[in-house]
Chains A and B, each alone.
Chain A
């Protein structure tokens, strides 16, 4: 009898949490992931995990903080798992940008961007283009950028999480940036 009462209290509490926090969590996840479906799945997984480990919570922290911490772990897990999937080999990828001597191909050569930096960071349209460009990065590259720039994790921690060497990490970030640079040039700076 007592158990049943506790269980239904927990259910009611979670309903209010879903009402109160799921939109915020969904938007938070959308900023960090490539698709709506993935963001929805991970927010749902977060609530399920929170529900199943409720005894660990015990009201010690703010529920919002606790849920976001779980969601953050789910996103990191997702990126870590994406590293286990096969991927286009790095050298093939770089062939798009560089010739056999390692020089920029004529149509890929970076030229000066006409830009006012401060203005750029304030511009919501630029933010939108940047978001779109990031969504088009291969998962592997998005993962390294996410951990490096959005979570501001230390190099050693990222390498450990993704199980790669440090030189492998900066090569991946370099490739991600080359592709991002190209996309921003195409859709923002040329316009």
Chain B
């Protein structure tokens, strides 16, 4: 049992990769168990998991959400001249 447990324990680095991989595809049973075991005992990775999910949301809305994309609108007269002279 101890040997099995040791086999299933993964590092923070691998756990973080699995958290990201999970947002792409369903994890295998083995990966799910390994991740759950790690998260049970690692506070830093629990925090990372939450932040990773939040980051996904933030990145999606960065351009899709109007409020977030309300950046100052700048005009560029130099560019206009440059383009017209290149055509």
- Tell me if A181 counts as interface (CB < 8 A to partner B): yes
Contacts of B25 in A (CB 8 A): 155, 166
Which of B45, B52, B54, B62 contacts A150, CB < 8 Å?
Answer: B62
Complex Cα distance, B74 from A40, in Å, reads 12
Q: Closest residue to A171 on the B side, CB-wise?
A: B17
- Tell me if A89 counts as interface (CB < 8 A to partner B): no
- Tell me if B4 counts as interface (CB < 8 A to partner A): no
Contacts of B17 in A (CB 8 A): 170-171, 174
B76 touches A26 (CB 8 A): yes
B51 touches A113 (CB 8 A): yes
Contacts of A103 in B (CB 8 A): 11-13
B73 touches A47 (CB 8 A): no
Which of A44, A150, A184 contacts B86, CB < 8 Å?
Answer: A44
- Tell me if B26 counts as interface (CB < 8 A to partner A): no
Complex Cα distance, B42 from A109, in Å, reads 10
A149 touches B60 (CB 8 A): yes
Q: Closest residue to A46 on the B side, CB-wise?
A: B83
A121 touches B52 (CB 8 A): no
> Which residues of A line the B interface, CB within 8 A?
11, 14-15, 18-19, 22-23, 26-27, 30-32, 40, 43-44, 47-48, 51, 94, 97-98, 101-104, 109-113, 115, 117, 120-122, 124, 127, 130-131, 134, 145, 149-150, 152, 155, 166-167, 169-171, 173-174, 177-178, 180-181, 184
Task: Give me the 5 closest cross-chain CB pairs, A-B, nearest first.
Answer: A102-B11, A102-B13, A174-B20, A149-B59, A110-B47
